[in-house]
Structure 1
Amino acid sequence: MGLWIPVTIAAAFFQNLRSALQKHLKGRMGSTGATFARFGFGLPVALLYLGLYVGATGEALPALNAGFLFAALSGGIAQILATFLLVYLFGFRNFMVGTAYSKTEPIQAAFFGFLILGEAIAPLGLLAVVAGVIGVMMISLGERAPKDVLKGLATREAAIGILSGTLFGASAVAFRGASLALGDGTILMRALLTLAVTLAIQTAVMLAWMLMKDRDELSRVLKAAGPSLLVGLMGATASAGWFTAMTLQKVAYVRALGQIELVFTFLASVLWFQERITRLEFAGSAVIVCAILLLIGAG
């Protein structure tokens, strides 16, 4: 089994925790503040991880270059916009439809990976990616009839969700490109440095925006510093896993395997909370598991 597989599963687990905490923040601040919490409070954690790694190994930081900085900047801004749109969906009554369409990200990442990095996906891998997306949408849509999925395409929520997935896919490919552009350094060093630089860019961009346009929102973020720090901790830990996995493997495979996050949610619902599940949700989880097995075989 490739190292990228357990790293991706761990990243998906921490992302699940971050999403739950971030959704809780939405009640205490707006979409901009909840988005900033992920990056601004994640930056100190990322710098700590990088410092601990350098201190433990003595490895020198790779030299930055124009290609790396452009990819980090492009991916960072795309991820800000994608995160904002996803958090914004929480305010809609029918946000689950939009969220389901945002999960088309692995397919879009496969397209961007081929277009930008020239990375082709093997037929078995592409089948696994598509199957994983179908399984996630089955879980996300719950008891909604298939016709409702098609109707949902014409809604504002679906448009926001698809755009969010597009931006997430593009950002993931940009982050892989940034890490690969460093050239020198171990896999973990390149991943941690890419994470730290990206979060620094994202924090600076969002902080400048809020200082100019929304100082009240920045004040609300500071008042919720405790919960925001937890979001940053979970977010940075998840991102460190994602960046490491995407340095090791093609983005489409990593993001498709990352859909196991929905299986974690499903298992918690059934085993911990004793909640009733629908046949469609059960079938969706089974499809995701099959997709993961296909990915392991393809990867």
Structure 2
Amino acid sequence: METWVIITFAAAFLQNIRSAMQKHLKGVMGTTGATFVRFGFGVPFALFYLLVLWRGFGHPLPVPDGIFFLWAVIGGLGQIAATFLLVHLFSFRNFAVGTAYSRTEPAQAALFALLFLGEAASQGTVIAIAISVVGVMIISVARTPLSVKSLVTSVFTRTAGIGLLSGTFFGLSAVSYRSASLALAPSLPQPDFVMQASFTLGFVILLQTLIMLGWILAREPDELKRVAAAWKPGLLVGFAGASASFGWFMAMTLQQAAIVKVVAQVEMLFTFASAVFIFREWINRLEVIGCLLIVLGVVMLLVF
């Protein structure tokens, strides 16, 4: 199995842990605070990884140029916008439909990669992406009343538009992170995907933390007290989040962002495994079908 696949599976598992912990934090603080924890408490771990690579293992530091900063800023802002839109969907009664459309991220990432990087996806990859996306969308709407008419009309709703826009920003940020990381390679004696990913993560997470901190200080200063009070679980969120992001960045340095994002859909399988075996929740027939489609899409990518 290729290195990027193993890294992606590990990152998906860690992201599932981070999401579960953030759900817990949402009960003791607002959405903004729970989102900030992901970045703010992740900074020490991201910088620690960078320091260990540089001082501990002797990896030379890259020298960023304008291209790196451009793509890193676009990626960081895009991820914040995507997350904000996704959270905003929860204010709608039929948010599940919008969430489903936000899961078109891999397909949109493939389009951005073609437009900005000239990375064309093969026919087999396009089919695998489509199968995986359909699987995730089925899971997202599996517990809502469904009919052919509702599926058709849902495409033109406000929630679907917000969901698609969220997927657009997620796809753009993924391609931007890959571009930023690749831009560091010429400044190194030889390409070093681990250092490139770590440096990109360190810069991006610092940028996102400063932006969100400024927003909280200006709009919701009381949130900082709730964040500080929850520092113990916050550290776990920060560790899992930074480690997962480190994995995504490494994988996307080695492989096209769209392909990595398809394999990353296995996070849904980890989520269902947790629901069934830890929380003793049941899953319905549509959710099982969605899971099987995700597996089929990932297997097609890895085999063909």
TM-score band by shorter chain is over 0.9
Task: Map 1:1-299 onto structure 2 (within 5 A).
Answer: 1-144=1-144, 145-147=146-148, 148-183=150-185, 184=188, 185-298=191-304
| Bigger mean CA offset, 198-207 vs 237-246 | 198-207
Note the residue ranges of structure 2 that are not aligned, 5 or more in a row.
none
How many residues in Structure 1 have an aligned counterpart in Structure 2?
298
Q: Quick check: 1:191–1:240 contact (8 Å CA) kept in 2?
A: yes
TM-superposed CA distance for 1:92, in Å, is 4.0
| Bigger mean CA offset, 241-250 vs 219-228 | 219-228
Q: Quick check: 1:132–1:256 contact (8 Å CA) kept in 2?
A: yes
Letter paired with 2:179: G
| Bigger mean CA offset, 259-268 vs 187-196 | 259-268
Q: How far apart in 1 are the matches of 2:70 and 2:247?
A: 22
Q: Quick check: 1:46–1:196 contact (8 Å CA) kept in 2?
A: yes
Letter paired with 1:44: P
Q: How far apart in 2 are the matches of 1:92 and 1:220?
A: 26
Deviations 1:101-133 (A, max 9, x none): 111100110111111111100100111111100
Distance 1:7 1:177, change over 3 A: same
Distance 1:159 1:217, change over 3 A: farther
Distance 1:141 1:295, change over 3 A: same
Q: How far apart in 1 are the matches of 2:252 and 2:277?
A: 31
TM-superposed CA distance for 1:87, in Å, is 2.8
What secondary structure does 2:199 align onto?
helix
Q: How far apart in 2 are the matches of 1:33 and 1:159?
A: 26
| Bigger mean CA offset, 3-12 vs 143-152 | 143-152
User: Percent same amino acid among aligned pairs?
Assistant: 51
| Bigger mean CA offset, 14-23 vs 154-163 | 154-163
TM-score between both structures, scaled by the size of structure 2: 0.92
Q: How far apart in 2 are the matches of 1:275 and 1:29?
A: 25
TM-superposed CA distance for 1:201, in Å, is 0.9
Q: Quick check: 1:31–1:84 contact (8 Å CA) kept in 2?
A: no
Distance 1:231 1:156, change over 3 A: farther
TM-score between both structures, scaled by the size of structure 1: 0.94
Distance 1:271 1:209, change over 3 A: closer
Q: How far apart in 2 are the matches of 1:274 and 1:21?
A: 18
Note the residue ranges of structure 1 that are not aligned, 5 or more in a row.
none
| Bigger mean CA offset, 15-24 vs 219-228 | 219-228
TM-superposed CA distance for 1:215, in Å, is 1.5
What secondary structure does 2:34 align onto?
helix
Q: How far apart in 2 are the matches of 1:88 and 1:229?
A: 25
RMSD value, Cα: 1.7
